[in-house]
A and B are shown apart, each in its own frame.
Chain A
């Protein structure tokens, strides 16, 4: 059922079993998981079914750290959330992403990859990724044109990425949600506060407002924050009427350990003989990116990351993401990126005659950023139209991040040279091992992670292994805000798997 919250009476109270705050991929996937159950689920979305610039304004915020995209345009604030403009690139986390790595401070998840693995197939289905095939061998068998650059290499491997159509959750799952008898979708329902009992260990109600000035209350047995990593932290920090630091923030961890994937053009790969490297090129189904094997990551003391390849001519015609995505308006940014991508495409005929077209490739780094306590989301003194403080971001990286990207390029260069295939050239900002600065083109992948990180110790985490906020028995966080480390893979697929795992846990808790 769909209810436009603007039509509700002022000060109305809604009672439900489960209240999901945020109708993006995480919130929608959890709601879908409850369809047909006897429990009543309320799904709150602060906007409607379409983009609304006034609502989007509440995502404004300052960037005080490394240069970053305008916060207003990095996420989408309407039904379907940021899936409304995502690119659809999906990959699974690697076992090493979950492990405690002695060379990376604050690494390690409190769950095993097997616990997440059980939910990947369903997540895979939600984002329409076709056959559940993640091994390079499958794709080599299926596509005769696919050939590995480094077959049987001791240090490097080909990590498979799959491409979603991309699934727009708002369009794809709207009907299922709206028609589900036990799901109530409230649009224009903006969370402004969470109230707890006197002991502070149970959320009793959520305060919701809209731009029309109406307020109402949602009382639920379980509350799930599923609004994205910046917004989840913002909501916990802003719920500070009873606890001055905000909910779950006794140890000043909420909002900290913000992570983004470091995405930057970083080098060139030159081949002795022409090769179309079809396995690594962008296509509609699956492609490989070059990754470093876990033992070598350990030996080199580096983070996880992958290198994607594209024809150098094409890459040279593209601006850095940070330059194309400069507007506060996400629609303008998308249009700019699409136009640039289209203009950069090589003509099918002319590329045959280009001397270096199948010899020179651009190397693009996509790396995890190591957990860093100083990298954080925090509340601004300015508020949005509903009186909630805006979120600001201080994005910070660590020494190991730069070192890792540099070392991976060296390693690929070494393996390429050893195989007699060619040479690697790194970009200027990576040349000097003592220089920790970043190039102007360094940006993120619009992937916000880690602000309510999962862990067993409340001093370094916000939620436990079940994504429950430490000390508050009915408040949960869903999505990539719970990631203790980010891995190199884009987060959507894994955040869906983790959200489905949370949903399953709540089912067990409620004995469904």
Chain B
């Protein structure tokens, strides 16, 4: 038996190569799973485009709370217990002629600006615990009525 062959058979760290491979695979696996998760968390890439002025409030208050706020608004304001009336109220003061047939971003900007102006004038109420404007409540009512119609 040559010295060389003896040395070849002598592996002082029999498991080190396997361990290194395992760690490498583990790191690659973690990166493969983690990278999309990071992207999902930190970027807007996977966020859907805004569909209406209610998106922001759904994000802030939650779908369930917004539904409840909207329901309460329609109960307390029977004249606005239909989509047409709510949409007309929301568009009051706007140059947008048709709620359903307009530029979505323009609509969102208008409604948000309207709510901000009401906040600035301190025209707010507390409903379901949330400090909201009338415009916010109408957005919630729109969400409620849309949801009711769809179900």
Contact = CB atoms under 8 A, between A and B. Distances in A.
Q: Which size class do A's interface residues fall under?
A: 20 to 34
B74 interface: no
Contacts of A352: 41
B61 interface: yes
Given A272-B59, A352-B41, A417-B116, 16 more contacts: A355-B41, A409-B131, A411-B122, A413-B119, A414-B120, A414-B122, A414-B124, A417-B132, A417-B136, A418-B116, A420-B116, A422-B60, A423-B57, A423-B130, A423-B131, A423-B136
Contacts of A411: 122
A138 interface: no
B112 A425 contact: no
A199 interface: no
Given A353-B37, A353-B41, A423-B60, A417 B131 contact: yes
A427 B129 contact: yes
Interface string B30-44: 000000010001000
B75 interface: no
Interface string B17-53: 0000000000000000000010001000000000000
Interface SS of chain A: helix
26 contacts: A272-B56, A272-B59, A352-B41, A353-B41, A410-B122, A411-B122, A413-B119, A413-B130, A414-B119, A414-B131, A417-B115, A417-B116, A417-B131, A417-B132, A417-B133, A417-B136, A418-B116, A419-B116, A420-B112, A423-B60, A423-B130, A423-B131, A424-B131, A426-B129, A430-B126, A431-B129
Contacts, number: 65
Nearest to A412: B131
A272 B60 contact: yes
Interface SS of chain B: helix
Contacts of B136: 417, 423
Which of A352, A413, A417 has the most chain B CB within a 10 Å cutoff?
A417
A427 to B, nearest CB: 7
A428 interface: yes
A430 B127 CA distance: 11
Contacts of A446: none
A428 B116 contact: no
A424 B124 CA distance: 11
B74 to A, nearest CB: 20
